[in-house]
Structure 1
């Protein structure tokens, strides 16, 4: 019998979706809702798929999904390989820590206007955490419960860095390949965080509707072994569980 480490389950599977895309409202939310599963949506507050569909995002939050912060304009370091999509206006090299923190706080205010919540989580755009060689993590910690990075990690409850939680980025995998990762999490009593962009299109990083659906059905079919929290639920649980462990010992 495997340890029941995650809210009395064998493993936790967190489904996160980045960049505020139309397909998240059109494809992902209906798929999650049909199976009573929960997702976390890391939203770019300036994205037209967010600003033009605010009422729909409000309903997403009402239905217990998480609206999370992915900054106002998604700035990334344009000097790194494969970053030709970064425009000069939103190149982290041109930012200060103050500017980024101000834009992040503004995004929190926008999200609170949509869902009424004050607690929030964050995902680093492109996984970048440095501005001109200086980490901005400490500057924004006070704004968030936790933050997600982009490094691959099977998250262990008692050793998780909650301001740099790893994940598995999804781009072209089959449903079976995604399910194999969940099985690894179950065997190792871990939390696995999936990072999706396009689901059925709209982004160069994409997964097919079929593969996404197959993963969701596996999670649903194994609900006795798998906990499916939002990212904020999972990280708050981890924080509280570790605090109680320290008290016990």
Structure 2
């Protein structure tokens, strides 16, 4: 009797493990690589690595950024190669009223009207559609600021975005509470092995992990080395039978299709 109960318990555990693994496109976990602010290094350092390994990334583009406006043909090639071009606002407004925000100047979110912010978000969507021809888009909150004067501004625009990424650390379960507050892990000085160890945690817990990168090999105060980024990308490629490396849009669509979103 005890033997039979033990076998039943092991069978249930195995079945659960297999079922959990099915969540992420038949893989143990999902990984999304995101890159913020439309930086030159994304085109110069990131894209060559991802393309060489046939991996896809999500680029949260600030449409008014110089590295976007002056390199439009290159961003069009990025989109044509099935990377995601995503909305990171027109001018990257951050709330300058918060502590430690001395870097905020003319684009101070606390001084925006709701009308201005929504207009800029929609204009960015229009610009991106002109580049890649797509209607569906995801969003990332600049500086992680999700509210304008205490009001969640994306609540008025959820019909125009599939999902949104914040900046808080989180391994995302298969049934997230809200697709518009998905967390991530920010790259800032980690070694390649430290980034890989985060992926291993996602594999062990059958989770989605989203990485947020700014500088890669320079280009921003928040930075990881080219070598660390390359090591992470190579690990993802080497373990592609266990890891689903996808875009933020595809991961969100997958969760919606599977009926996994709690609200």
- Choose the corresponding residue for 1:12, options 26, 30, 41: 30
Structure 1 residues 160 and 6 mapped into 2: Cα distance closer, same or farther (>3 Å)? farther
Cα distance in 2 for partners of 1:40, 1:134 equals: 27
The answer (yes or no) to whether the contact 1:62–1:115 under 8 Å persists in 2 is yes
TM-aligned CA deviation for residue 181 of structure 1? 0.3
Quick check: 1:48 aligned with 2:66?
yes
Cα distance in 2 for partners of 1:60, 1:135 equals: 31
Structure 1 moving runs of 4+ over 2 Å: none
Task: Give the secondary-structure state (helix, strand or coil) at the position aligned to 1:15.
Answer: strand
Quick check: 1:25 aligned with 2:43?
yes
- Choose the corresponding residue for 2:140, options 123, 127, 144: 123
Please, what TM-score do these two structures have when normalized by structure 1? 0.95
Structure 1 residues 27 and 160 mapped into 2: Cα distance closer, same or farther (>3 Å)? farther
Q: Which has the larger radius of gyration?
A: 2
The answer (yes or no) to whether the contact 2:176–2:260 under 8 Å persists in 1 is no
Q: What CA deviation, in whole Å up to 9, does each residue of 1:15-62 have, x standing for no partner? A: 000000000000000000000101000000000100000000000000
Task: Give the secondary-structure state (helix, strand or coil) at the position aligned to 2:26.
Answer: coil
Q: RMSD in angstroms over aligned alpha carbons?
A: 1.4
In the TM superposition, 1:117-156 aligns within 5 A as 117-156=134-173
Q: Unaligned regions of 5+ residues in structure 1, if any?
A: none
Match of 1:68 in 2: 86
Structure 1 residues 22 and 95 mapped into 2: Cα distance closer, same or farther (>3 Å)? same
Cα distance in 1 for partners of 2:154, 2:68 equals: 25
The answer (yes or no) to whether the contact 1:166–1:193 under 8 Å persists in 2 is yes
In the TM superposition, 1:90-239 aligns within 5 A as 90-239=107-256
The answer (yes or no) to whether the contact 1:157–1:242 under 8 Å persists in 2 is no
Cα distance in 2 for partners of 1:202, 1:244 equals: 36
Quick check: 1:240 aligned with 2:257?
yes
Cα distance in 2 for partners of 1:146, 1:125 equals: 15
Task: Give the secondary-structure state (helix, strand or coil) at the position aligned to 1:151.
Answer: coil
